[in-house]
Amino acid sequence: MGNRVAICAMAQVKNEPNVWYQRFQGMLLDCLEPILQQTGVTYDTDKGIRNIVTCSDDVFDARTISDNGMTDVVGAHFRGEEKTAQDGLNGLGYAMACILSGHDDVVLFMGHCKESQTESRNMSTNLAYDPFFCRPVGMDFLNVNAFQARAYMEKAGVTDEHLAEVVVRSRENAAMNPFARESGKVTKEDVLNSPFLADPIRELHAYPVTDWAVGMLLCCEERVKEFTDNPVWITGFGNCMDRYFVGDRDLTSNFSLKKACEKAYGMAGIKDPKSDVDVIELSDAYAHQLPMLAEGIGLAGEGQGGKWIESGGPAKANVNLSGGMLNGNPIMLGGVARAVEGYIQLRGEAGDRQVDGAKRALAHGTTGGACQHQTVLILEK
């Protein structure tokens, strides 16, 4: 048994504001069929796909057991099907574990989320909190992230101007990514003049409502040549959950991200992410999170987020060339979108935004209010 897991194929639909004209099952089928064609993989119970990891959310799908609605589409009858109901990057980590443990040779990963289906994304994330102390006072991921934004901007000298730069760059990068949501370029003035949603978070500081679906085929090292000549290897994975009550946490410490990085860096043999990683993708659902997460992974110094933006840190380290989460990926799949960009870059298929000679990528995902749960995946060529 080899000790590496390969991503052999990936297919996605375009990130869009409102795929009203297609059910999520159709979006998934548009991802599955190209994977079958690219790799020739079958559902043979000896040699083919015997296990499928899916990512979806009951609240956004407005049904119980949201993966039940995917079973037919992903071909999960008479084989394993297991659901990740948090950032899908954890599903990729789980698929990796299925293979490394020797339980499976080949695992299919399929994720979807149509944020547009619900009248209010904030009502949906309110349900992430308990019904006793938090839901009744109206906590949701937007207003909880606003607490984090205020504390972090104070701690790291991050200004409204800095955040405007982050948003402008996100939209410029996304314009070079054919699968990115067409959110449109904006000027610094547009951002600085956009209305507050939850101070200090402005409308343009928040990721827009997005629908998306994606699939990947993973396989053990021994059998990779059956499916691709250009594999991307998963060489590191780590995740960690911070405490539940926001009042118990230091919202700006990146506690769970640092723990996730320790595990992922140790597994992949990364000593210094500044020199050892060529492409970095962070799930910046809100603009202030880009510099904050950069601190968490060790790219920017502790409390130096403001200076890091001023000195062109994001461009220098090839951070979020995809446009990032800030340009628009649905919750649940933010981390997978980051891994997709890593995969495309390492295969040399990123076109105008290609990083020359990219050998290693970091993908980050987060679940919960104010980055409670964090996940890091390392990809290599």
Partner 1 sequence: MKEGFDTTDCFLVDGKLALPYTYFAGRVGSKFLTTIRDEKKIMGIKCNKCNKVFVPPRQTCDVCMEDIRDNWVDVQNTGKVTNFTVVRYDDKHLPKKAPYVLAMIQLDGADTPLVHVVEGIDLDKAKIGMKVQAVFAKETTNTILDIDHFAPA
Residues that bind partner 1 (CB under 8 A): 13-14, 16, 19-22, 62, 120, 122-123, 126, 131-140, 142-143, 146-147, 150-151, 195-201, 243, 245-248, 251
Task: Check: CB of residue 29 under 8 Å from CB of residue 73.
Answer: yes
Q: Which is nearer to partner 1, 144 or 361 (CB)?
A: 144
- Shortest Cβ 362–partner 1 spacing (Å): 29
Q: Which is nearer to partner 1, 67 or 242 (CB)?
A: 242
Q: Which is nearer to partner 1, 91 or 328 (CB)?
A: 328
- Shortest Cβ 207–partner 1 spacing (Å): 15
- Shortest Cβ 160–partner 1 spacing (Å): 15
CA distances 294 to 243, 253, 381, Å, are 21, 12, 23
Q: Which is nearer to partner 1, 21 or 78 (CB)?
A: 21
- Shortest Cβ 248–partner 1 spacing (Å): 5
Q: Which of 239, 312, 326, 251 is nearest to 281 (CA)?
A: 326
Task: Check: CB of residue 49 under 8 Å from CB of residue 108.
Answer: yes
- Shortest Cβ 116–partner 1 spacing (Å): 11
Q: Which is nearer to partner 1, 131 or 357 (CB)?
A: 131
- The CA distance from 365 to 90, in Å, is 8
Q: Which is nearer to partner 1, 20 or 315 (CB)?
A: 20
Q: Which is nearer to partner 1, 100 or 142 (CB)?
A: 142
- Shortest Cβ 230–partner 1 spacing (Å): 26
